[in-house]
Chains A and B, each alone.
Chain A
Amino acid sequence: MSGMHLIAAALVIPLAGAALIAASGRWPNLREGVTLVTAVALLMAVASLVPSVMSGDRPALLVLEMLPGISIAFRVEPLGILFALVASALWIVNSIYSIGYMRGNREPHQTRFYACFALALAATMGIAMAGNLLTLFLFYEMLTLVTWPLVTHHGDAGARSGGRVYLGVLLATSMGLLLPAVVATWACAGSLEFVPGGILRGAGLSSAALAGLLALYIFGIGKAAVMPVHRWLPSAMVAPTPVSALLHAVAVVKAGVFTVVKVVVYVFGVEELSAAGAAGWLAPVAGFTIIAASVVALRADNLKRRLAYSTVSQLSYIVMAAALLAPLSIAAAALHIATHAIGKITLFFAAGAIYTASHKTEVSQLDGIGRSMPWTMAAFAIGALSLIGIPPAAGFLSKWLMFQGAAVRGEWIVFAVLAVSTLLNAGYFLPILHAAFLREPAPAEHPHGEAPVLMVVAMMTTAAATLALPFVVSVPLALARSAGGVLP
């Protein structure tokens, strides 16, 4: 199949999967079978695109001209294929986990759940492969909307208010800031096609105007959760854990930082931004988010909330790395999209497993849980080490590149932020491990065992991938490097 057909397949497979899931709702085994087959087919379609992208091709697909001069069009480049690869590969694991979680917890509305999940993946593929800003924006909004039913899955008061914050913040930022930014880009440059070197190169904007427009983009892309537009992410934690795991640690949030990197590289252009000095404010803002979110995570007792704030902090690593505008740091940003995804999904899998097996949600309840759930807590430990950045876990790789990028640029404040946040990461993850493995369980404890086997399998898969990634890093690293090299 040619690149064009593969792009179409990557978009159509999850959409068709959603339709089939909805149609097979009465037969749960068939329905889950459809989900798994769809996920595998999607990964195959995405993976088939990798060789041609790595050899320098840019497969493209034009769907239709939506407005005069602006089309719905797709064009795959290294950063996008890396993101698509991560999301579609983890969807398979997450689907296995979901089956265990949803059945283990006897959740209602499972058909809607799986169908919306497939739709969310379709939107993610659209974002990853978008060839211009309008296409990206279209799928960005679609992703917000199709994940709302997942966030409000339980339908109770908590879900309603969580869903309101989720939708409110994401739509307010995207409609209120991102849309004017996109229209302004179109008005200034007369084009929205992603081009190497940036759409705005040569548009003759002053550096103040560039900085202002960049601010509209950064805060308009609420999914990147740069403070103060991060509030939706903790609110999204009312969702069932598989949703938090794949969508709010991988697909949705990574769509945000992916868009940020895309905007920096392909809309503004790295040279344009560094020449105008218009991105100088971004690294401090992202740095503040890193530290502040880590401090909040340190104080959060609810496990998912702690993980959510950890995500907020980790996302700003990527934003900060991109803001340095050095090829090395952009490669680090691209790679961190992958490494954080694998590490964080493992942590959420573990949190969901703990909830399913023991109905515990708070960190303070986890004393001695490593004895009854050794597999789960082992996976949790690997994910935590990866996020702290301890080798050989995958997180080490991207963090190393980030340190290197900061050093190359001579940005010692950024360097210091990275160092301090690493300590803070350790500060909020290690106590959990200490409690789980070294403390005695509370005496009046109900005995419980390990989580359902499907969940353990999924968890072990991502934990193993976290450890294995540094040894098979060539493909993601090559993709990240060519994204960082600001290749076409």
Chain B
Amino acid sequence: MPDHLPALQVVLPLVAAPLIILVRHRGFAWLLTTAVSYCCLVMAILLATRVIGGGAISYAIGSWPPPWGIEYRVDALSSFVLVLVSLMASFVAPYAHRSLAAEVPHDRHYIVYAMYCLCLAGLLGMTITGDAFNLFVFLEISSLAMYVLIALGPRRNALVAGYQYMLMGTVGATFYVIGVGLLYLVTGTLNLADLAERLRAVEDARPVLAALAFITVGIGLKLALFPLHQWLPDAYASAPSMVTAFIAATATKVSVYVLLRFYFDVFDPAVLFAELPTREAFIALSVTAMVVASLVALYERDVKRLFAWSSIAQIGYVTLGIGLYNEASLTGSISHLLNHGVTKGAIFVLLGAVALRAGAGRLTTESLAGLSRRMPLTAFGLVLAGLSLVGIPGTAGFISKWYLILGALERGLWWVVVAVVAASLIAVAYVWRIVEAAYLRPAPDAGTARSEAPAGMLAAALAMVVLCVYFGLETSFSVGGARDAAQLLMGAPR
């Protein structure tokens, strides 16, 4: 049984989805989803401890040995992302019940849960697989599920947002598969490790370069790399609250993981970063994303969109670490996957609680007025998560920012340091707009009666907020795991 954990990690949520469709009962669907999420978390943690103890795990699906069969591979990086994804799932799932009840018609709940399980399976599969085509399959599973989830949003423009994301996402997935096709053309293999070895021997660089370009743009679309980010604000703003919380915390992160896999394992990072302008391109795009998206967030009135723009800026931090290309910066990038996942997850979960009490309609900064009176715990949670977003010391966001600044300093790039802190300061401004509204502006109507979110939702939300602080102080998992992964990536290719 323990030997089959890598397969179970994906199969369990994958099997849960059709079960939910068959039973079509929303209470059952919720319980099953929650149970599956927790099981996934337990399995991910078990896998992570085994990786820390005994190195990478290779699992051959159907006992077909790689490179002929599909290999599942768990190493320092993928186990870190597995824990991140399943951790977020197990926070969001218990919270989903009450949140969905307010936003989605009851007879459609089972669809949400089924799609949620599929999405989880896809994301975990993308992370765990060691096969380029299998990765595409999981990418499509998670993406298709996500399109449906977004389109199920409470307002009518959710359909448009879902459709828009579907167009962009399909382009991304297609580009990815074209790139993989080109690689298959020159190497005749799809196993990532095998690909890496064979690519080193390829004489003709042109198809490989083309493959690199297709894969970069394809994955760049999925991870909302600036300027391929247009789908993201609408998608995040329109989806049901629990969906936003889940995909904001996980989907782009897994895409970053795929990019890291290709850049550092499949392609030769020495060539990629030394002979191609990869570093310059990534630094330029990331810095632009950080500053521009933060500025847009500053002027956004719709709170969910505001934080969606903030996500684009934060993805800039992650890709900046890739562009800086040293151990410190990659540690920053990878730990930011977790730190930002926890932070943004917490924010969207809390906003979901606010939306539940505020009723239908868009959540604007004005509608947050007097929140500290109506929902003191939720408001305080938003403040703490906001501080983590800014990167105040003692919160998760600080840790990754520390390593990014350190990485930039090691490269001697002072202007990048300036950009990082400038983006943080803009973040102070947009977070403080929310804080001021919540604490200093009186509620417009007489509605100052205390109406805190339901206990279940609040517990999930505050647990995530606690994690925002926990990962800011006790970093043996977040930094330790990220540093192991960074060393793996920066070390000799496997």
Residues of A bordering B, CB below 8 Å: 64-68, 72, 134, 137-138, 141-142, 145, 149, 152, 155, 159-160, 163-164, 167-168, 171-172, 175-176, 179-180, 183-184, 186-187
Contact = CB atoms under 8 A, between A and B. Distances in A.
Q: Interface SS of chain B: helix, strand, loop or mixed?
A: helix
B440 A152 contact: yes
Contact of A175 (B394, B399, B428, B476): B428
A184 B413 CA distance: 12
B409 A184 contact: yes
Contacts of A142: 394
Given A183-B402, A187-B406, A72 B473 contact: yes
B432 to A, nearest CB: 7
Contact of A176 (B402, B425, B440, B475): B425
Contacts of B424: 175
Contacts of B401: 179
A114 B58 CA distance: 58
A137 B421 contact: no
15 contacts: A138-B393, A141-B392, A141-B394, A145-B387, A145-B392, A155-B440, A160-B440, A164-B436, A168-B428, A171-B425, A175-B390, A175-B425, A180-B421, A183-B406, A187-B406
A277 to B, nearest CB: 23
Interface of B: 387, 390-394, 399, 401-402, 405-406, 409-410, 417, 421-422, 424-425, 428-429, 432, 436, 439-440, 442, 473-476, 479-480, 483
Given A167-B432, A172-B425, A175-B424, A186 B406 contact: yes
B290 to A, nearest CB: 14
Contacts of A187: 406, 409-410
A141 B394 CA distance: 9
Nearest to B421: A176
Given A141-B392, A167-B432, A67 B479 contact: yes
Contact of B421 (A66, A155, A175): A175
A6 B213 CA distance: 61
Nearest to A180: B417
B406 A171 contact: no
A64 B473 CA distance: 8
A64 B470 CA distance: 12
Contacts, number: 72
A145 B391 CA distance: 13
A175 B391 contact: yes
A296 to B, nearest CB: 27
Nearest to A177: B421
Contacts of A141: 392-394
B402 A180 contact: no
Contact of B405 (A68, A164, A171, A183): A183
Contacts of A155: 439-440, 442
A171 B428 CA distance: 8
Nearest to A188: B409
B405 A180 contact: yes
B475 A67 contact: yes
Nearest to B425: A172
Given A175-B428, A179-B421, A184-B409, 12 more contacts: A67-B402, A68-B480, A141-B392, A141-B394, A152-B439, A155-B442, A160-B440, A164-B436, A167-B432, A171-B428, A176-B422, A180-B409
A308 B429 CA distance: 26
Contacts of A137: 393
Q: Among the interface residues B394, B442, B476, which one has the most CB atoms of the partner chain A within 10 A?
A: B394
Contact of A167 (B393, B410, B417, B428): B428
A443 to B, nearest CB: 41
Contacts of A65: 476
Contacts of B432: 164, 167
Contacts of A64: 473-474
A164 B394 CA distance: 22
Nearest to A156: B440
A149 B439 contact: yes
A286 B432 CA distance: 32
A184 B418 CA distance: 13
A25 to B, nearest CB: 12
A155 B479 CA distance: 40
Nearest to A142: B394
Contacts of A152: 439-440
Nearest to B474: A64
Contact of B483 (A68, A164, A171, A186): A68
Interface centre among B399, B476, B480 (most CB of A within 10 A): B476
Contacts of B393: 134, 137-138, 141
A68 B440 contact: no
Contact of B479 (A68, A149, A167, A176): A68
Nearest to A135: B393
Chain A to chain B: the 5 pairs with minimum beta-carbon distance, closest first = A138-B393, A183-B405, A176-B421, A187-B409, A155-B440
Contacts of A72: 473
Contacts of A172: 425, 428
Contacts of A186: 406
Nearest to A187: B409
A407 B379 CA distance: 56
B472 to A, nearest CB: 8
Nearest to B387: A145
A149 B409 CA distance: 35
Contacts of B439: 149, 152, 155
A243 to B, nearest CB: 16
Nearest to A172: B425
B170 to A, nearest CB: 40
